[in-house]
Chain A
Amino acid sequence: MAEVKKIATRDSYGKALVELGAIDERVVAIDADLAGSTKTGMFKKAYPDRHFNCGIAECNVMGTAAGMAAMGLIPFASSFAMFASGRAWEVIRNSIGYPHLNVKICASHGGISVGEDGASHQCCEDFALLRVIPGMLVMSPADDVEARQMVRAAYEYDGPVYIRLGRAAIPVFHDEATYKFQIGKAEVLHEGNDIAIISNGVLTYEALKAAEKLEQEGIHARVLNMGTIKPIDAEAVVAAAKECGGKIITAEEHSVIGGLGEAVCAVLAEKYPARVRRIGLQDVFGYSGPMADLMVEFGLDADSIVKETKAFLAE
């Protein structure tokens, strides 16, 4: 794989939001004093009259977004994943989820890759928190191309959506000209039938690198990029279990509890029992450090995936 350029998915979000602002006057952006970080600042610059800062008040971000949606607007509500999904959870549940309002929650700084800020800001629970709300779509892009298409797809979908975005610049590996993101559809990024690796977000690129390394050792791993965690592409999960030796590895920048890993387990337990090994945070909090080091510390890098894969195949 050739060296590729790197873009943070929060930047992709900012760009995509500006484009949506141009085509639809109902699109508004709502922030909690983090417009510079969540990249809604780009929207604010382009459409200052449609950007509303709530100050440091995430619950009110969600409440006022719900009210604006009830008036027919299409609010994009942003903060760090920790505060958007955590602090404001019950407002999302009761004022956005229950009335099924057309609010797009786009949360940046998800996962451990936040780095130096440490555990208080490393949200590894958001997929779990949002998945459990009835009717809520939960997505997480793997690169810039997917992120921009995902934001567009969220806009086109009528209902509540949660998208987790990242702080750090990550490799762009999708081809803009050919890739087409679809809500609820997995993407086969690497063919193989020995084992399947299902991932999303930052981990997808690591899974790809791992698959290439495994290939050199004669292990053919299928890599499935699962941009939509809910509704999950059950068909692709079952096919992977059937066609890849009944062994699946899930890899996500999230707790192994409640996220992609458990969503995959639920599909398999009900439809096609298979062995699963979950890569993610093993029921622990993170800590401060540079992103690259943390990814290794918590086993979220390509080499760790290679190691886990081989160990799993040996069982």
Chain B
Amino acid sequence: MTPERIRELKLIANKGRMYIVKETHAAKSGHPGGSMGAMDLMTYLYNEEMRIDPQNPKDENRDRFVLSKGHCAPGLYAVLAMRGFFPEEDLMTIRKIGSYLQGHPNMNTTPGVDFSTGSLGQGYSAACGMANAAKNVLKKDINVYALLGDGEIEEGLVWEASEYAAHYGLDNLCIAVDINGLQIDGATKDVMNMEPIDEKFASFGFNIVKIDGNDYNDLEKAFAAFHAVKGSGKPTAILMQTVKGLGVSYMENQASWHGKGPNDAECAQALEELEATRRLIEAEGADVSPKAETPSGIQRGED
């Protein structure tokens, strides 16, 4: 990617983060933290990686994306709207009665949503079924992508799905594990330590790529590594370090921002900070990315 393209993607992601803040503020609920951290991955997927047509969202031959960590719907909706699947103004209806933008993604109401998710582990299982259907039954060149949380991989179903992905040689399946180190009750290492995550997926037979999930050069390399193993029969797991709440100072690395919406003052401050970042990206080009400090203190969250 050219520095100019990276700058464009950063501006899209920055706008997406503003939408996440506005959506969760309007709904007075929702999950901003994880959405913010995963925004770069979803921006990259829908703007660089996936073969999709927003004008024809049900195209049978499209690539699929399953947001297995379905609570990050505010982020997915922002990416889909900005990509043209539905009007951006509709984002503010999220979680309201009558809206097609449910609290967690609904494939039957929302253009661009490939599977209904929300119950952790299940989207990944479905993604494995999709990839197997594409590769071994329909025999079509369709890639299936899924995004999982690092808390989500505590679910037993994740490992049932992983053994299946390897057994059926699903090299058209690429999962990203969003490692932000936090879950509702605190730090993942304290709640249920899943490390070494890389060795776990490697032992299941996955092609492992470890990246900074908020770095576009890294994202480009990760998906190149996915395409490089096509034909090997190995599914790919991108293990990406991200910063939960990235882009808003008071949300960064705070488990408390897992599942709540900002109030009026918090919303205003967040949008101010993101606007400042936008100006920096515009002015200084590709080298600027909102980077957070290492977490100083982990707070417990609520859901």
Residues of A within 8 A of B (CB): 28, 49-50, 52, 54-55, 57, 59-60, 62-73, 75, 90-91, 94-95, 98-100
Contact = CB atoms under 8 A, between A and B. Distances in A.
A94 B120 CA distance: 10
A70 B126 CA distance: 8
Q: Which of B107, B124, B157 has the most CB of A within 10 A?
A: B157
Contact of B125 (A55, A59, A72): A59
B161 interface: yes
B114 A49 contact: no
Given A54-B164, A91-B122, A95-B116, A64 B107 contact: no
B223 interface: no
Given A70-B115, A99-B115, 16 more contacts: A60-B157, A63-B126, A64-B125, A64-B126, A64-B129, A64-B132, A64-B164, A65-B129, A68-B129, A90-B119, A94-B119, A95-B126, A98-B106, A98-B116, A99-B108, A100-B108
Contact of A28 (B116, B127, B137): B137
A49 B132 CA distance: 11
A49 B116 CA distance: 27
B284 interface: no
Nearest to A26: B137
B301 interface: no
B164 A59 contact: no
Nearest to B161: A60
Contacts of A98: 106, 116
A156 B116 CA distance: 24
A63 B161 contact: yes
Interface of B: 60, 106-108, 114-116, 118-119, 121-122, 124-134, 136-138, 156-157, 160-161, 163-164, 167-168
A222 to B, nearest CB: 42
List the 4 shortest-distance A-B pairs measured between CB atoms, nearest first.
A63-B125, A67-B129, A64-B129, A67-B126
A73 B60 CA distance: 12
Nearest to A69: B129
Contacts of A94: 116, 118-119, 122
Contact of A71 (B116, B125, B130, B156): B130
A224 to B, nearest CB: 35
A22 to B, nearest CB: 16
Contact of A72 (B60, B107, B127): B60
A57 B160 CA distance: 6
**For B122, B124, B129, B167, which residue has the most chain A Cβ atoms within 10 angstroms?**
B129
A66 B119 CA distance: 14
B163 A55 contact: yes
Taking each of A52, A64, A65, A67, which has the highest tally of chain B beta carbons within 10 Å of its own beta carbon? A67
A63 B129 contact: yes
A68 B130 contact: yes
A69 B129 CA distance: 8
Contact of A67 (B118, B128, B163): B128
